[in-house]
Amino acid sequence: MQGILERDGRVLLARRAFEPRRGHWDLPGGFLGETEDPAEGLRREFREETGLEVEPVELMRIDIEPYDEKHVFSLTWIVRGEGDPRPADDVDELRWFARHDLPEEMAFPGQELVLRAWAARQQDA
């Protein structure tokens, strides 16, 4: 599960500190605990990776995508949150990207589809 936090037409992305895909840009998020509520897991992952308290406001997409040598069920939420993000946990760097300035390659192929859908929403707004 992952979240899109947007401010002033830009999205927050995290540079991965560890494998798989170390050094690539990623959407903040991660895996749920075995009995963890998806919204609570998203809040926890954002807090761990960015220091921000976020609130999921819209389920944007559900995808099945490759991760390492398996496939995972991926939920993407639009989230809201205030404050200044700071990289922590498994994140080396956090940066805001405008829709015209997104990285050429994301950590995982499904995220490129997610960000294209986000960019199209921005264009239509």
Q: What pLDDT shows up at residue 7?
A: 96
Question: Is the predicted pLDDT of residue 106 greater than 90, yes or no?
Answer: yes
This prediction has a pTM of: 0.93
SS3 content of the chain, % helix, strand, coil (to 5): 25, 40, 35
Q: What pLDDT shows up at residue 123?
A: 80
Tokens of 50: 């960015």
Which of 103, 105, 113, 88 lies closest to 10, judged by CA? Answer: 103
DSSP 7: E
Q: How many domains, the chain?
A: 1
User: Residue 101 is part of which domain span?
Assistant: 2-124
Residue 92, domain CATH:
3.90.79.10
- In angstroms, the first-to-last Cα distance of the chain is 25
The pLDDT tens digits for 49-76 are 999 999 999 999 999 988 888 898 899 9
> Span 94-116, mean pLDDT?
93
